[in-house]
Amino acid sequence: MIEKLTSPENMAVISVTFSVFMLILSMAWPYFRNDPLEGRMKSVALEREKLRAQERAKQANAQQKKGERIGAKKAEASSLIKNIVEKLNLRTALADENTEAMLVHAGYRGSKPLFVFLALRFMLPIGFLAITALYCLFIAERTPDDTMTIAIKCLVAGAIGF
């Protein structure tokens, strides 16, 4: 056994295999490292955005108390969406701090874009599935053997909505 391992051919194979493994490991090593500064910077940015949103809410409340008009349509739509998200508890089910960070990086600041995103994330799959089911059942021509095809189309439409 030792003679087979120490033969020149096997030693060459072992050394090449080890070298390739070490090369792959050295190239992938930076991706395995966790940068604590980056995580801290993200958490500080998120906290700053939360404080800004709170300050904007205080300013909006102060404007409403003074009698200044804020767009009535926006306030109603926002409150409806906010009620849907809060009643269904979508914030804990569909969002994490990364979701808020991605919206902030995309330029959507404040709480309203988050509520709209969560409401759409919840309603789009249901809407796509319902529209596809209505179309397949009532508008499109079908044969009696199309039940499985209709079910698959509805599931695909729900997945696209998701």
Q: Which pLDDT score is estimated for 26?
A: 87
CB 85 within 8 A of CB 112: no
**Whole-model pTM above 0.75?**
no
> Residue 14 corresponds to which tokens in the numbers above?
């072992």
Q: Band of the pLDDT at 73, cuts 50, 70, 90?
A: very low
Phi, psi at 14, each rounded to 5°: -65, -45
Average pLDDT over residues 12-23: 90
Higher-confidence residue of 35 and 70: namely 35
Phi-psi region of 92 (alpha: psi -120 to 50; beta: other; left: phi over 0): alpha
Average pLDDT value for the chain: 82
pLDDT at 64 over 90: no
Average pLDDT over residues 73-85: 64
* pLDDT digits 0-9 by tens, 101-142: 888 888 888 778 888 888 888 899 999 999 998 988 888 887
pLDDT at 47 over 70: yes
Q: Band of the pLDDT at 1, cuts 50, 70, 90?
A: confident
**Residue whose C-alpha is closest to residue 111's, from 96, 97, 100:** 100
Cβ atoms < 10 Å from Cβ of 154: 20
Phi-psi region of 36 (alpha: psi -120 to 50; beta: other; left: phi over 0): alpha
Phi, psi at 42, each rounded to 5°: -65, -45
